[in-house]
Amino acid sequence: MLTFHLKSKKEKDSLILMEYIPSPRQRVRVSTGQKVPPGQWNVRERRARTGARLKSNKALNMLLDKIEQEVKKLDRECRANNGAPPSAEEVKEAVYKATGRVVERKEENSFLEFFAQEIERRRKLPGFSPTRVRQYEVFLDHLGQFSESYYPLRWDNINLEWFDHFQDYSFNVKGHSNNTLVKHIKILKSFMKRAVQAGLTDNMACQGFKVKEDVPVLTYFTMQEVERIRALDLAGNERLAKMRDRAIVGAFTGMRFSDLDQLTVEHFTSIRDREGKKVDAIRFMQSKTKQVITIPLHPFVKETIERNGGVLPSLSHQKSNKYLKELCQLAGIDSPVTIVRNKAGQTVSETLPKWDAVTTHTLRATAATNLYKMGVPAKTIMKFGGWRDEKVFQRYIRLADEEHTVIVAKSDYFKVRKEVG
């Protein structure tokens, strides 16, 4: 299938794009280099309108016919000689040949060079998260390995065929989850959009890449489990002692991992309740949302931070996830947890001991879920943890069906009242 359409109906003179679809899994878009006012474009015929006042459009349509003939000729030759349709680069050359333009040859690593430059540009933006920059750098390294050893990466070949290979590489070579691939494709779309705006390419095929995102299955610690972690004797085990301190603070503040690194005694403050009584609190700006929030200062949190010289022990995210599992295994937190994930289009279910299913996100879910079980309104918990999206917040309320039943059973609605009179 080959057709022509306008790049934008809003511009005074819109660029005409040629779209070539040799198979359901391949789509190639190439600029013809020609422009026409949207009002002069016949959507049904896929050509410019002609008439007494639009004589110049006849020459334009002849050029579009020539482009179509060249690409169809190329298609026939490639299928006859190679048993496959032409590549995106070959199609582009055919279009340029028909319009008298010269294909600008780019080095294969030009996309990766742009990616690296764009990371540096974003790094310098005010308030841009270092965590986000690190995600970009990890993805750039991933792309570089993929391009070098698996499938060459060029501006023109980021299409559905490339996407199929990239998914296969991510799932079967790197062992990534669906959600890791979702994050990578979001980054790719963002950077390709910037490249289009910069005039480096007109390839927008990646905007059609879709991966089903898994809703994270978050576990949480009951108050009894938190106490078991707190009561562990970790004398002589400095790394797990550090992790225990971070876990306790995370469980009683609901802070994100990145915010725990910033927390110091300087964030301690006090507020007054309606009766004028002093309430110890923590006031800080969340690194992800730049939102300033105030939360109660739990005595365990105060004691932990003051004992560590006014700050929390520093640990990398990767090590924290590993150490947290060890900590929970040592505390005997081993009730079975069933995890359901999608990977490479397959639904995979596995049952793990709870200690093997926890991550640093478990600490944030612990704060949200235990507050909810204690009757704190959902809106108040959202304010406490800085959640803005209720749908995202609900992922952190990790109650079993039986726990929901108990909450309802303990409500005033199920209490028997004596009738008066």
Question: If you average pLDDT over residues 365-371, what whole number do you get?
Answer: 91
Environment class of 133 (CB within 10 Å of its CB; exposed 0-12, middle 13-18, buried 19+): middle
Q: How many CB atoms lie within 10 A of CB 325?
A: 19
In a domain? residue 177: yes
From 61-75, 132-146, 147-161, 247-261, the region with the lowest mean pLDDT: 147-161
Alpha helices in 106-230 (DSSP H): 110-123, 130-149, 160-168, 178-197, 223-230
d(CA 386, CA 371): 14
In a domain? residue 17: yes
Contact between 45 and 34 under an 8 Å Cβ cutoff? The reply is no
What's the pLDDT band for 381 if we cut at 50, 70, 90?
confident
d(CA 381, CA 370): 10
Helix (H, G, I), strand (E, B) or coil at 66: helix
| End-to-end CA gap in the chain | 84
What are the residues whose beta carbons fall under 8 Å from the beta carbon of 304, sequence distance 6 or more? 245, 248, 249, 312
Single-letter residue type at 96:
Y
In a domain? residue 271: yes
Number of domains in the chain: 3
Do 236 and 337 lie in a common domain?
yes
The token pair at 134 is 């690190």
Do 94 and 120 lie in a common domain?
no
Do 94 and 238 lie in a common domain?
no
Q: In this predicted structure, what is the pLDDT of residue 172?
A: 84
In a domain? residue 400: yes
Do 157 and 187 lie in a common domain?
yes
Q: In this predicted structure, what is the pLDDT of residue 108?
A: 44
Do 116 and 86 lie in a common domain?
no
Do 123 and 89 lie in a common domain?
no
Among 57, 73, 99, where does a domain finish?
99
Q: Is the pLDDT of residue 246 over 90?
A: yes
Do 305 and 390 lie in a common domain?
yes
Do 65 and 115 lie in a common domain?
no
**Domain of 201: which CATH number?**
1.10.150
Among 67, 99, 131, where does a domain finish?
99
263-296 residue pLDDT tens: 999 999 999 988 889 999 999 888 877 888 898 9
d(CA 132, CA 119): 10
Do 196 and 246 lie in a common domain?
no
What's the pLDDT band for 116 if we cut at 50, 70, 90?
very high
In a domain? residue 383: yes
Q: In this predicted structure, what is the pLDDT of residue 344?
A: 60
Q: What rounded mean pLDDT belongs to the chain?
A: 86
In a domain? residue 217: no
99-112 residue pLDDT tens: 887 665 544 448 88
Where in the sequence is the domain holding 327, given as residue range(s)?
223-412
Q: Comparing 352 with 410, which gets the higher pLDDT?
A: 352
What are the residues whose beta carbons fall under 8 Å from the beta carbon of 287, sequence distance 6 or more? 129, 131, 256, 258, 259, 262
% of the chain residues with pLDDT over 70: 91
